[in-house]
């Protein structure tokens, strides 16, 4: 955690911060100019459902409609990977791979979140089905339906940026529990006063092991935080709200946050403008530590 390694200097950049890149008509995330902020080499998701892997050719898409899912769904990308368990509708082992990329924040596979799990009753989980899955290049949209509601998961195969979100839609607010991976912790950023998470490893500017500092934050819309410690946060999310995850510069820039929305929370609810990015934090301390 030495602070001798040069850190990113303050800068102003014109931001087009995207939680996801979407096509309004279909909701499918697609590559865009924002890719430069998430990955320099591109991404490519392969998704395995019930033993069948969907990995369409570049520029093509694969779609799955209304299937019962008997085993966990694996989402494998160049820059990140994770598993969705249909029995809980939770996301597990959200991992940055550390593949070579100018935007990477790790150099080896690193579990950022051990789990992101909605707290649902057995009745709310009853009759779970994968209503739809769309896979195209570096983006996926998965919608699960149950007897009581639905959950939408969107992800982008980037090394950083706004590349993941969960959107529950049930009759009552849903608790989402986020648990960080081994070695990661929440801390108060000394430059912004806001809560970030990371592993405290300084950036390396050059060489084969070059990487940025691992920094992230929870990104809520129409959600209230009910618990916080060094490794876990709990959020109550209203129907149509969402919990996103933001990594890298987008997680620390000095912004007021996204606008509230209660339906189709997408890129248009994010911030667009000139936003300052502070230096990397030095020797961050876990909350409660």
d(CA 280, CA 187): 13
pLDDT 10s digits, 162-197:
999 999 999 999 999 999 999 999 999 999 999 999
Q: How many CB atoms lie within 10 A of CB 102?
A: 12
Quickly name the fold that domain 17-277 has. Beta-galactosidase; Chain A, domain 5 (2.70.98)
Query: What's the pLDDT score for residue 275?
Result: 67
Query: What's the pLDDT score for residue 276?
Result: 78
Q: Is 222 left (phi over 0), alpha (psi -120 to 50) or beta?
A: left
Question: Would you list the domain boundaries of the chain?
Answer: 17-277
Q: Quote the DSSP letter at residue 124.
A: H
Query: What's the pLDDT score for residue 255?
Result: 64
Query: What's the pLDDT score for residue 289?
Result: 74
Q: Which residue has the tokens 């009552």?
A: 172
- Beta strand 73-76 pairing with 80-85: antiparallel
What is the phi/psi pair of residue 194, to 5°?
Answer: -100, 165
pLDDT 10s digits, 15-64:
333 333 333 333 334 333 345 579 999 999 999 999 999 999 999 999 99
Helix (H, G, I), strand (E, B) or coil at 245: strand
Length of the chain: 289
- For residue 185, the cross-strand partners are 198
d(CA 126, CA 167): 18
| Per-residue pLDDT tens digits of the chain, which is 289 residues long | 444 444 444 443 333 333 333 333 333 343 333 455 799 999 999 999 999 999 999 999 999 999 999 999 999 999 999 999 999 999 999 999 999 999 999 999 999 999 999 999 999 999 999 999 999 999 999 999 999 999 999 999 999 999 999 999 999 999 999 999 999 999 999 999 999 999 999 999 999 999 999 999 999 999 999 999 999 999 999 998 999 999 999 999 876 555 555 455 444 344 444 567 899 999 999 998 7
Query: What's the pLDDT score for residue 269?
Result: 43
pTM of the predicted model as reported, rounded to 2 decimal places: 0.83
CB 216 within 8 A of CB 153: no
Query: What's the pLDDT score for residue 286?
Result: 98
């Amino acid at each position: 955690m030495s602070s001798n390694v040069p850190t990113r200097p303050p800068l102003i950049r014109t931001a087009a911060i995207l939680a996801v890149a979407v096509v309004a008509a279909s909701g499918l995330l697609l590559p865009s100019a924002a890719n430069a902020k998430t990955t320099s080499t591109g991404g490519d998701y392969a998704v395995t459902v019930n033993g069948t892997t969907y990995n369409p050719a570049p520029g093509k898409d694969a779609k799955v409609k209304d299937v019962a899912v008997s085993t966990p769904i694996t989402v494998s990308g160049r820059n990140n990977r994770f598993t969705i368990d249909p029995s809980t509708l939770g996301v597990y082992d959200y991992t940055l791979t550390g593949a070579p990329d100018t935007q990477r924040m790790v150099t080896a596979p690193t579990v950022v979140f051990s789990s992101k799990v909605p707290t649902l009753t057995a009745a709310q989980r009853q009759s779970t089905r994968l209503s739809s899955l769309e896979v195209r290049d570096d983006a996926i949209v998965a919608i699960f339906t149950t007897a009581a509601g639905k959950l939408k998961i969107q992800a982008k195969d980037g090394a950083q940026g706004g590349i993941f979100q969960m959107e529950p839609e049930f009759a009552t607010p849903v608790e989402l529990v986020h648990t960080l991976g081994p070695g990661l912790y929440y801390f108060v950023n000394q430059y912004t006063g806001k809560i970030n998470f990371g592993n405290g490893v300084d950036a390396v500017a050059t060489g084969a092991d070059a990487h940025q500092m691992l920094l992230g934050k929870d990104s809520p819309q129409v959600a209230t935080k009910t618990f916080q410690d060094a490794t876990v946060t709990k959020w109550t999310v209203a129907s149509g709200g969402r919990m996103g995850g933001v990594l890298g510069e987008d997680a620390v820039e000095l912004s007021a946050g996204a606008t509230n929305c209660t339906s189709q929370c997408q890129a248009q609810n994010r911030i667009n403008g000139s936003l300052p990015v502070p230096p990397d934090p030095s020797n961050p301390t876990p909350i409660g530590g």
